[in-house]
Structure formats: structure tokens, C-alpha cells
Amino acid sequence: MLWEQDGKLMYHYDAETMVIEPWGMNSVRVRAAKMAKPPQEDWALQMEKPQVKVEIRKEGSGMSMINGKLAVRVTDGGKLMMFNQKGELLLEEYWRNRRDLTDPKCSAIEVEAREFRPNTGGDYHVTMRLESVDTNERIYGMGQYQQPYLNLKGADLELAHRNSQASVPFAISSLGYGLLWNNPGVGRAVFGKNITSFEAYGTKVLDYWFTCGDTPAEIEEQYAAVTGTVPMMPEYGLGFWQCKLRYQTQEELLSVAREYKRRGLPLDLIVIDFFHWPKQGEWKFDPVYWPAPDNMVRELKEMGVELMVSIWPTVDKESENFGEMLEKGYLIRTERGVRVGLDFEGATIHCDVTNPEARKFLWNRVKKNYYDKGIRVFWLDEAEPEYTAYDYDNYRYYAGTDLEIGNIYPVDYARTFYEGMEAAGQGNIVNLLRCAWAGSQRYGALVWSGDIASSFDSMRNQLAAGLNMGLAGIPWWTTDIGGFHGGDPNDPKFRELFVRWFQWGAFCPVMRLHGDREPRQPQYGTTGGAHCRSGAANEVWSYGDGVYEICKKYLELREKMRPYTRKLMAEAHEKGTPVMRTLFYEFPEDKTAWTVEDEYCYGSELLVAPILEARAVTRNVYLPLGNSWILTDNDMIYEGGQWITVPVTLDTMPVFRRKRID
């Protein structure tokens, strides 16, 4: 049965109900459920729904909804197809059944496009299957995965969060559409040659949002209109951030900041990483090693340096807050076994930020011990979640691997600080996070690519990750310059990698130096977090004089670009525009631009070609059509629409300025 109701298309067959409704310009939301009406949670679609005029009409035995450039057609058998204003097919459900004998794809194999397979104990394993309508289609976005491919056609992606993997299930297609899998459950997405499929392993509803547009920018802006944009990046986000694993004492951190200023190097922010607290779950400085945080913050501010601290959600059973949080239900539960979520430097359990009261409790402790001391930005580290949590909105438990953060933890951890800081009058909010989901950007999520290897292969993976994160709606993104794991500052091979990563870092949305360097430092105390030892030095002067001079060059370049970077951040805030942009985002009419995966545009005016291999002496670069391009190292001008080979030395990375042709 197919009918119109309140401006929506409704379909019902047997136990399934499907609702198709306009949701923004050129866009619709599709929901389907079995045995009940679709649940009403909006998940990522939290912004006020843009009002649009649509036309719904009868077409043969089916019905169509026209919303701007998008036409949605549903047959009387329930098959759904979507077309653009040119009549080109963008999406077609993969039906292989005999409910409609006139369908050319009628089949006896009985495979459903919308499959609800019951799980033991409730809910469904839901699978959505779509035809792969064009074997030349290219797919981008979907968040951050540790692999080198920008084009995801042919990829098999886990929809779950892990350290260095952030699933943000919004895909942009070269055919001119965007699709958000609006379900926070753990699952899978496969962009196959024959079938595209999305799965949620435990859910009540199939839910997705679909849009079309003439350019990637139009699609991205329509997505931002329904999921939100980042706040305006504060001024300290435009320059250079210094950190390492980890500064162990107040004096050590201050000595580093003083040295940057003594050398006349730009420094906007410095980080105090984890285990600066007495115990996990005591969100404050350990007075043994950080005796005067107020004076520390004051001195840093006098130098023009902001301070960031790492916050963990883990609560040690011996911490001062454990008893009260346990009594009030502010900790996650387990259905069986011992309540330990993470055994690292103590047996701990996580704060349950799905509980609004727990969010308030955590924020109040953070406000008292950090924010009120003048520390204006927080780095929230989710660690690796393997626990059970209770969803207060839906009154249900999530087991560890069933949750794997999903919509709940990345969004709600960021929300804890966003809501608190908004209430405290801090408007421009930055949450440095290792995970995010669709919509996290509106809570000031700056995602970094996690604890990654120090290698050229890893660096290549981060380039694909950063570009696809931007297309997935998360424009604030950064990475550990030099990689996180290992790397000896005295090793010539690592110094080369460090230089190449540092050069690229100057053209990332946030330029952040971090890492756990070798060799490990000796233990410096016996109480609190002192037995969590630090890595070797990781400042720009730690890598020898030659490397230092290169770093100084790129630090000064980043500072010179501050007005330009500020403009890019304004575009991200106003329209959702990525700061790092694929070539096809800026040049969608250039067919070759869609095939280039190892260079990108930093905003609209600069083309960046990172050096992604050791001992490179040349770099092949594609220059997009319709412009001239100026190589910034020597002001040589090249015409667009061609591949060129650029000689490189260790102190240079090819960057081109766009010279528009009138």
C-alpha cells in the first residue's frame, strides 16, 4: 500500500512501514521499520529541518516526490529509486524478488533491498542493498580509515570506532549525490562492483538521508545544513601546537614554552597529556608534580600561549569520585562479570555520559579544576571502549562491541564540554577527539588520527583519512606530526620522515606536533601518574640543526598564512566547507582531478603535494585545468591541465598558488 500523508510518501507491506519525507533542499530522509512505526530519534539530523516545497504525484501504479533537483519514485511494490533533475538514475534499491513481475530485475533468488533479520533478544540486523548503477562511480567520505585509498569504490568498511578509526558514514558520489547512513549502530558498509550495502548489527530502524547536487560543494553544504557546522575556530587554532607523550612536570612544560619564545618561534598552544592527575577519575593536577597550575597558566598567557589538558573518562576504583559516581549511577554498567572497562595504570570504569546528570557532574569537576584556572580548551581521550553502557533515551543497554562508541560516545563526550563551556560563556569551543560521528562537528570536534605508526606508509594513510574526513563533514582534522609510535629523533631515517610530515602539517587544518619518541625516559617519581613514563624529547630543536632550520621555515610560513587560514575556518563555520579539499571539490569539471589521490587544495588558492616517500628527488604533480599555477619556491608559472615533474630537496615540498585565468 502506497499513499501520501502530511507531505510524506508512506508505504506499508506486511509488517514493514516506510516513510519518505523532504529534509532540506534537494534532499529526503528515508526510514523503514518492522512491526511498528519507525522510531523518532533524529540522530545526526539535529538541526532544525529546512522547510522546502515538494510535489507528490501519482505515476502509473507508483508515486513520486519532487524536491528541487531530486525526484524520488516508489513503485506500488515498494521499490525505491532516485533521479536528479536531468532524469539520471542516482540510486536504485537492489531487489531480487517476485513481488513485481513487471520489474526487469524480477528474480526467484528472493533477496530484499531492505532486510530486517531478527536478533536473539530483540532488535534486528538490518541490511540495505543498493544497485551499483555505474561501475565507474567514485565514492568518498565515510570518515577516517587506516588505508591509503581516497576513492572508496570497492572498499569494505567497518562501521565502528577504534583508536585511529572514526566511522562517519556520509558518502559523496561522483554521480552527484550524498548519502548519510543515519544509524549509530556498529555495522558494515561495502561499496561493491555489483552491490552497495549498509548494515547495522543491532537496531530497530533503517534510516538514511539522501541529497543530490551539481557539485560536491553543493552536496556538502546541503549536508551541513541538516547536521550542523563547526563553531568559528579560535585564534589559537590557526597557529602551531606543541605536545609530546608526555610532559611530566610543571617545570618541564614551562621550560619548553620559554625556549620557543627565547628562539622567537611562533607557538599558540602547548599540551599537558594524560596522567597529570593523581588517579584516573580525579580531574585535577597532581600537586606533587604540578604545584602551582594558576601561576603556570598565567606565565603561559603572558607568553601568548594557551594550555590544553588531556581528559580521560576513566574512573579508578580508588579515586576520590568513584564512590559518589557509583552511588548516583554515573558509571557504565556490566550485565555480568567484574565492572572494569579498562585496566591501564589502574582498574577503571568509564563515566556514563549518556546520562545527562553524569555529564553535569564531570563538567563541574573540570570547570573547577581546569576551566576556572584559565585553561580554555580540552582534549578528551575516549581510550578504547570495551564496556557496557546504558542509553537513557532508548532505555536499553549496549554491550562493548555492540556499542564501540557509535553515536553515543563521540557525540556525548564532546557534548559534555560543549554544553558546559557554552553555559560558562566560552563560545568558540574546541574538543580534540580521537573519535567522531556524523554531527560531532557542531560540538567543536577537532579529530586527530589517533595513535598511528611513524612511517611513510602511515603518513600516506593519514592524507586519505584527512581528505575523507573533510568530505564526511568534519573539517577540523589533524594528525600527529611524525606519527605517534616510536621514532628516534637521532635516527637519520626518522628525521627525514619527520621533516616531510612537518612540511605537510603546516597545511593541515591544525598544525600539531605530537608523538611517543624513543628512547623512553626514566621514571621520575613514585606517586600518581609518575610510573607512566614519558618518551624522548619532541621539540623542533630535538632533531638536529638541519631539521631545525627546515621546521623554522615552515613554522614561519604557517604564521604568515594565519589570515588565509582564518578565512578557511570561517568558510567551514558558515557553510561546512572542508579546509583540506580534494582536487575535484575545487575543480569538479576536470575529469582528471577526480582521479588524483595524493595531492589536495588547502582552501581554494593553494595546491599542496606532500612528499610521501623516502629519498624523493622529484614529485609528479597534476595541475587542474582552467588556471595557471605558480610554484611558491621559485615563482615559476605552469599552465593547468597537465602533469609536471618538480625537483625536490629535503627542505622543499611543492606548493602552488592558483592564478585564475579570466
Sign of torsion, CA 277 279 284 287?
negative
Distance CA 212, CA 82 (A): 9
Phi-psi region of 17 (alpha: psi -120 to 50; beta: other; left: phi over 0): beta
Asked about 451 being catalytic, the answer comes back as yes
Rg (alpha carbons) of the chain, rounded to whole number: 26
Choose the catalytic residue: 123, 381, 412, 599: 381
Distance CA 181, CA 159 (A): 10
Closest among 609, 650, 612, 611 to 632, alpha carbons compared: 609
* Cell 611513510 sits on residue: 456
Asked about 381 being catalytic, the answer comes back as yes
Identify the DSSP state of 440.
Answer: G
DSSP 135-186: TT--EEEEEE-SSS-S--TT-EEEES-BTTBEEEEEEEETTTEEEEE---SS
Please answer whether residues 152 and 594 qualify as being in contact, where contact means their C-beta atoms are separated by less than 8 angstroms: no
| 3-state SS assignment for residue 406 | coil
Choose the catalytic residue: 41, 100, 158, 384: 384
Closest among 653, 654, 307, 305 to 502, alpha carbons compared: 653
Distance CA 69, CA 627 (A): 30
Distance CA 75, CA 60 (A): 9
Q: What amino acid occupies position 330? A: Y
Question: What are the residues facing 621 on neighbouring strands?
Answer: 644
Choose the catalytic residue: 103, 134, 259, 451: 451
Which residues fall within 8 angstroms of residue 113, CB to CB, at 6 or more apart?
79, 80, 93, 94, 95, 128, 129, 130
What φ, ψ does residue 178 adopt, rounded to 5°? Answer: -130, 145
Asked about 41 being catalytic, the answer comes back as no
Residues known to be catalytic: 381, 384, 451
